[in-house]
Structure 1
Amino acid sequence: MNLKELSEHLNLSQTTVSRALNGYPEVSEATRRRVVDAARALHYSPNTRAKGLATGRAMAVGHVIPLSGQHEMVNPVFGDFITGASEAYVKAGYDLMISVVEDGCEEQHYRRMKAMGNADGVIVHGPRMDDPRISLLVELGLPFVVHGRASNVNTPYSWVDINNNRAFRRATEFLLDLGHRRIALINGLESMDFAFRRRAGYEGALAARGLAPDPDLMRSGEMTEVYGHRAAREMLRRDAAPTAFLTSSLITAIGVRRAVHDAGLTLGRDVSVITHDDDLSYLKNGEHIPLFTATRSSVRVAGRISAEMLLGQIGGDMPSPATRMLEADLIIGQSTGPAPH
């Protein structure tokens, strides 16, 4: 069924039906309810292009992904975020537009996006400590929400973030309570804001117990399985090897687990591991009992919240800037135990 057929069924003009479906205030509540009920009963789905012409919007949200040799955004975590965001877009009748651009070409792409008007707003991924995209988008007047934060940016902006500092402080405290003193941190790239905050939480927990962070027990890099394996293998070969690892990704933790196994050690008995981001749709942390102890905060939920926040700004229903801090739960799995004597 198209708009013309729905209008004829209701004996109303196409303009009235369109305005009722798009929430225009000049349409009475009784008429709006009648139109909405009929559209639902007759399975009417508005044409996105026509709806855009009626509202003056593109009815699309952009996600610009840099193709970087240093920080790979397209991974299982990104996939879960996009899934959550898409749930909000579909519900609101918006399309998702993903653009993969060469590293360093983002500014040009955002300017072209604004000039062409093919997106009503954007989600910013992987913010760096001093991220130039924020001031650019403010300058362009393009609505945006940052997934994460940029610590060195003072301009107010909208964001959705996990309390990374608290999550890693709590995880480190848990290992300290188990008697561990040589705790290694296998972090993400610390030019990224989330990794900077996670290291601060780790170091803060150690300092509170009178322990100085050991640079030899800290690594920063792209969060891959190979990176986790190499870092853990090198540390475990030392005379003063760590008895516990704290990793920034389940993918990295899998590499650490492989290194522990290769060293002839038992996970949770000889070496403990706590990871982050274990709640992924296609990379589960065990089936019934979690394999890894983890700090868990759903990336999919973060995607949905970010999208809803952005859509609220586009529609004028939410103040800008708006912020949302999400907390992580500590999930106890099989990968942690008392420090070995």
Structure 2
Amino acid sequence: MATIKEIAKEANVSPSTVSRVLAGSSKISPETTKRVLEAIKKLGYVPNANAKGLVVKKSFTVGVFVPREPENAFLNSFFDQVITSICALVNSFEYDILLAISNPEKERELLKRLVESKKVDGFVLLSSREKDPAIEYLKSIDFKFVVIGRPSGFENSVNWVDNDNVKAGFEATEYLIKLGHRKIAFMGGPSDLVVTSDRFSGYKRALEKYGIQPKSSYIKFANYYRKSYRESAYEILNQEDRPTAIVCMDDLIAVEVFKVAESLNLKVGKDLSVISFNNSNVSEICQPPLTTVDINILHLGRLAAEVLMMDLSESTKTYRRIIVPHQIVERSSCSKVQVL
């Protein structure tokens, strides 16, 4: 008896399109539907009743979950880029995307509603936190998902894609140390984000390696608001013994550091060195252009989507952990310490 793959080859479509036609999906064009039905008739395909029942239960939709207040969800261009790459890969499998954005305190409720309504077949979670409620919930009901970020406490029992952020934080800090800096600050996002804690760990390891004592007034963690970033930057730069360099959690924080530095008559790239993460579009148009760690955002999104699509198509469970390489992109926001 013919298989769905053979039907797909005969009709010159993907197997998922054949499955959608068998499920009676209205999203497939009449022309494509006709071609698939003709291939079914030609090859004498007889759908298995049980298999068809399973197909009907599929939504052919992937949920992309952003645990942020809606008004702040896209302040950081990381999310624009990673969602773009996820969409491109998922769409190539003829799946749709459902974007789910929720205040952190309501995320479990939102995920539960989407799962129980069968609106999505799986999720891509765009961040991870310590004791992450989204990971804990989806794991508890054995629902398919992948995390962009290290899933703290679930590293060996969850699909995830990430950079080695401890190493990246170490290398960014070491880069400044090798330029002669000893007074190096760290500005992070929310402290419960795993990416924040990992990059901060790398920062501390670099200081320790080179015998530099961390200074508590040089270390700040802020929430998702730009105002919070500016306030933290001001507290760091307005102290009498100010740092000569700052490791910023991401490019958005670095932009706010640039603004505060200017207000204090400090010239970035001369009076203050700044290194950041993400290599977003803004890093090239900053004045001066921003030295940043390229974490290969598009690659992160594509790989996460690939892992989820593989998981959705396999009957046996194989957990995948993928580490995406990073590299420092040198621009003009960092300079050597001037020896008087």
TM-score range, shorter chain: 0.7 to 0.9
Q: List per-residue Cα deviations over 1:179-232 (Å, max 9, x = no partner).
A: 101001011111110000011000000000111211110000125543333323
Deviation at 1:142, TM superposition (A): 1.2
After superposition, residues 76-115 of structure 1 pair within 5 angstroms as: 76-115=77-116
**Other structure's SS at 1:260 match:** helix
- Taking structure 1 as the reference length, what is the TM-score of the superposition? 0.81
Between 1:257-266 and 1:147-156, the stretch displaced more is 147-156
Deviation at 1:298, TM superposition (A): 2.2
8 Å contact 1:48–1:94 — kept in the other structure?
Answer: no
Q: Unaligned stretches of 5+ in structure 1?
A: 1-14
Query: 1:175 aligns to what?
Result: 176
- Name segments (4+ residues, structure 1) moved above 6 Å: none
**Other structure's SS at 1:279 match:** coil
Between 1:216-225 and 1:301-310, the stretch displaced more is 216-225
After superposition, residues 289-328 of structure 1 pair within 5 angstroms as: 291-316=289-314, 319-328=317-326
Alpha-carbon distance between aligned partners in 1 of 2:162 and 2:312, rounded to the nearest angstrom: 20
Query: 2:34 aligns to what?
Result: none
Query: 1:256 aligns to what?
Result: 257
Query: 2:11 aligns to what?
Result: 35
Deviation at 1:154, TM superposition (A): 6.2
Between 1:202-211 and 1:293-302, the stretch displaced more is 293-302
Alpha-carbon distance between aligned partners in 1 of 2:247 and 2:320, rounded to the nearest angstrom: 31
Query: 2:338 aligns to what?
Result: 340
Between 1:105-114 and 1:56-65, the stretch displaced more is 105-114
8 Å contact 1:224–1:251 — kept in the other structure?
Answer: no
Query: 1:11 aligns to what?
Result: none
Query: 1:128 aligns to what?
Result: 129
Query: 1:138 aligns to what?
Result: 139
Query: 1:74 aligns to what?
Result: 74
Deviation at 1:114, TM superposition (A): 2.6
8 Å contact 2:283–2:289 — kept in the other structure?
Answer: no
Deviation at 1:48, TM superposition (A): 8.5
Q: Unaligned stretches of 5+ in structure 2?
A: 25-51
Between 1:83-92 and 1:130-139, the stretch displaced more is 130-139
The number of aligned residues is: 307
Between 1:97-106 and 1:49-58, the stretch displaced more is 49-58
- Percentage of matched positions with identical amino acids: 23
Q: 1:85 to 1:190 in 2, by over 3 A?
A: same
Deviation at 1:301, TM superposition (A): 1.9
Alpha-carbon distance between aligned partners in 1 of 2:270 and 2:102, rounded to the nearest angstrom: 45
8 Å contact 2:66–2:127 — kept in the other structure?
Answer: no
Letter in 2 for 1:210: G
Query: 1:286 aligns to what?
Result: 285
8 Å contact 1:217–1:235 — kept in the other structure?
Answer: yes
Alpha-carbon distance between aligned partners in 1 of 2:61 and 2:161, rounded to the nearest angstrom: 20
Letter in 2 for 1:220: F
8 Å contact 1:225–1:254 — kept in the other structure?
Answer: no
8 Å contact 1:248–1:275 — kept in the other structure?
Answer: yes
**Other structure's SS at 1:330 match:** strand
Deviation at 1:264, TM superposition (A): 1.8
Query: 1:186 aligns to what?
Result: 187
**Other structure's SS at 1:304 match:** helix
Alpha-carbon distance between aligned partners in 2 of 1:290 and 1:89, rounded to the nearest angstrom: 37
Q: 1:318 to 1:304 in 2, by over 3 A?
A: farther
Alpha-carbon distance between aligned partners in 1 of 2:246 and 2:168, rounded to the nearest angstrom: 15
Between 1:194-203 and 1:124-133, the stretch displaced more is 124-133
Alpha-carbon distance between aligned partners in 1 of 2:86 and 2:315, rounded to the nearest angstrom: 18
8 Å contact 1:227–1:255 — kept in the other structure?
Answer: no
Letter in 2 for 1:83: T
**Other structure's SS at 2:267 match:** coil
Alpha-carbon RMSD: 2.8
Deviation at 1:285, TM superposition (A): 1.9
Alpha-carbon distance between aligned partners in 2 of 1:177 and 1:318, rounded to the nearest angstrom: 48
Deviation at 1:166, TM superposition (A): 0.7
Alpha-carbon distance between aligned partners in 1 of 2:264 and 2:299, rounded to the nearest angstrom: 37
